[in-house]
Amino acid sequence: MSDSLRQMWEYLSSDAAWSGRNGLPALTWAHVRISAVAVLIAAALAIPSGVVLGHVRRGALLAVSVVNIGRAVPSFAILALLLPFSLRYGFGLGFWPTIVALVLLAVPPIFTNTYTGVRDAPPDAVEAARGMGMRAGELVRKVELPVAVPLIVTGLRVSAVQVVATATLGALVGYRNLGTPIVSGFTSPNKGPMLAGALVVALMAVATDGLFALAERALVPWRRPVRRADDATVVAEEAAPAAVR
């Protein structure tokens, strides 16, 4: 261990760590970029479909199945399975198989949380909105979607953390990111780059988790200590599943 720590220190004090396409900044940027793109694509696919299905209150089985299947199919396996296809159809190594695997991984939590959040909007609030003459679009925009926001952000948080973690596996199919020094470090006598890469990616994952936790608080002010017990939003928050606590 102390040997490895010394090697990491030597690596961090060398130029190689800070410049070039194998330097930590380039690897970190590649990691952040592919993770952000994957989560954005997944959100663009999952949120609209979750809102629609949640609004019409159909597809409960789909919502549960999508999460269960997503959990049972290892992302490592998806990545490995995609590689032969990617090569066969000319998409090559690296970016394409990685991004497809990450999007597939990121969709289920966002979709299911959006669906659950919209579907479980408090019925009295929905009825009141209908009574006020709101049409479907307005009802979604003004009532169901705002009430679902905490759960949607939770879904994004779960997905983002998993995507940052799984993007490291992209190194195995040739996508150069923070996983690259880790994978090559298993067999290399110099453990410096591996340890440095591992620490940066661990910090990045924990920071992602923390950032989304802060976003949850900022977006959902009524989650903070409640004063008035008869506040309608409190009822809404209680109706939403207690996922984040």
Partner 1 sequence: MTPVLAAEPLVRWDWVRDHTDDITAQLWEHLGLTAAAVGIGFAISMALALAAVRWRWAYEPLAAACSVLYAIPSLALFGVLVTIPFFGLGFRTALVALVSYTLLILLRNIVAGLDGVPAAAREAADGMGYERWRRVLRVDLPLATPAIVAGLRIATVTTVGLVTVTALVGEGGFGSLINDGLSRNFPTPIVVGTVLSVALAIALDVLFVVIERLLTPWARARVPSTAGTRADDALVRARGRAAGRWSALVGGRP
Length of the chain: 245
Q: How far apart are CA 214 and CA 216, in angstroms?
A: 5
Give the nearest distance from C-beta 212 to partner 1 in angstroms: 10
Binding of residue 185 to partner 1 (CB under 8 A): yes
Q: By three-state DSSP, how is residue 177 classified? A: coil
Binding of residue 45 to partner 1 (CB under 8 A): no
**Please, are residues 80 and 197 in contact by the beta-carbon 8 Å criterion?**
no
Binding of residue 19 to partner 1 (CB under 8 A): no
Q: How far apart are CA 125 and CA 38, in angstroms?
A: 34
State which of residues 121, 166, 175, 220 lies at the interface with partner 1 (CB under 8 A): 166
Tokens at residue 188, please?
């290399």
State which of residues 70, 102, 139, 145 lies at the interface with partner 1 (CB under 8 A): 70
Q: How far apart are CA 161 and CA 165, in angstroms?
A: 6
Binding of residue 98 to partner 1 (CB under 8 A): no
* Contacts for 70 with CB less than 8 Å, ≥ 6 apart: 104, 105, 107, 108, 109
Comparing CB distances to partner 1, the nearer of 14 and 68 is: 68
Give the nearest distance from C-beta 132 to partner 1 in angstroms: 29
State which of residues 26, 41, 62, 93 lies at the interface with partner 1 (CB under 8 A): 93
Q: Please give the sequence-ordered ranges of beta strands (E in DSSP) within the chain, or none if there are none.
A: none
Binding of residue 104 to partner 1 (CB under 8 A): no
Q: In whole angstroms, what separates CA 17 from the centre of its chain?
A: 28
Q: How far apart are CA 60 and CA 49, in angstroms?
A: 13
**Please, are residues 107 and 78 in contact by the beta-carbon 8 Å criterion?**
no
Give the nearest distance from C-beta 67 to partner 1 in angstroms: 5
Which of these segments, 40-48, 204-212, 218-226, 227-235, binds partner 1 (CB under 8 A)?
Answer: 204-212
Binding of residue 168 to partner 1 (CB under 8 A): yes
Interaction site with partner 1 (CB under 8 A): 1, 4-5, 64, 67-68, 70-78, 80-81, 83-84, 87-88, 93, 108-109, 112-113, 116, 151, 154-155, 158, 161, 164-166, 168-169, 171-174, 179, 182-183, 185-186, 191, 194-195, 197-199, 201-202, 205-206, 208-209, 241-244
